[in-house]
Amino acid sequence: MADLVASDQLIEGLVEIFASVLPGVEIDADSDLFDLGGHSIVAGQVVARAREILDIPVSLRDVFTARTPRGIVEAVDRRAPLPRR
């Protein structure tokens, strides 16, 4: 149950990050970054903010392949952690 709560909190955090990089766009857990006007620079901003604010090891590949807040959290959960710097 704790993992579910943590995942929900991470999804909500990514929803807020998506909203901050796509101002004026309504975002939910299943909003596709690229369908809503995002591009590679915006994806990079999502990665940087997710790492800094949420402390999750998200990669550009995660954003490009998963595309939604829910999908990104699921992708990060499925793979081994990235090395810390």
Question: What mean pLDDT is reported for the chain?
Answer: 91
Place of tokens 């590679």: 40
pLDDT, position 73: 96
CATH class of 2-78: mainly alpha
Domain ranges of the chain: 2-78
33 CB burial (10 A radius; 0-12, 13-18, 19+): buried
36 close to 25: Cβ distance less than 8 angstroms = yes
What are the tens digits of pLDDT across the range 46-70? 999 999 999 999 999 999 999 999 9
What is the rounded (10 degree) CA torsion for 75, 64, 10, 38?
Answer: -160
Distance, in Å, from the CA atom of 14 to the CA atom of 78, rounded to the nearest integer, reads 17
Tokens of residue 15, six digits: 């929803």
pTM for the whole structure: 0.88
Regions of the chain where pLDDT drops below 70: 1-5, 80-85
